Amino acid sequence: MTKPLWAPWRLEYIQAADEQEGCVFCLAADGDDEEKLVVHRGRRAFVLLNKFPYSSGHLMVAPFRHRAQFADLDDDEALEMHRLAGEALEALAATYRPDGHNLGWNLGRVAGAGIVDHVHLHVVPRWSGDTNFMPVLADVKVLPEHLAETRRKLSAAWPSRTE
């Protein structure tokens, strides 16, 4: 039986996403890694924590270039983004041992994209029983660890690759 993952707190964020000044990914691409929650930087793309996560360790992989459509990515960007998603799975497994993962592209507002003008890939760790009554009844999401600590741990666990 499939259980829904409710995330009612995201509605407020999605409704206000277009009112923010500047692109969150472009700002993070040029910002301080700790402040912007960047976990790892590649040549064409980078990985950062989602400030409004579905679950602890929810990562996003974005290209450095500001591109609104998946088709606007060049082959090297698309390949690196998927390679970084694979490395994210390794770092999450080593750090938090999730029971599974959701990976996905939310392309367009109706598809769930909170940020529609800079394409990105979600990497969401999942655990058995990771949904609970708090978001549904109290409009509260319980995260067991501060985002800065999660960023530090995942950055330290990031697999080293020689290219």
Residue with tokens 């741990």: 153
Catalytically annotated residue among 40, 101, 118, 120? 120
The residues near 109 (Cβ < 8 Å, ≥ 6 apart) are 14, 116
Calpha distance 90→21 (Å, rounded): 34
120 flagged as catalytic:
yes
Q: 39-57 b/e with 16+ CB inside 10 Å = b?
A: bbebebbbbbbbeebbbbb
CA dist., res. 113 & res. 4, Å (int): 18
* Catalytic positions, written as ranges: 120
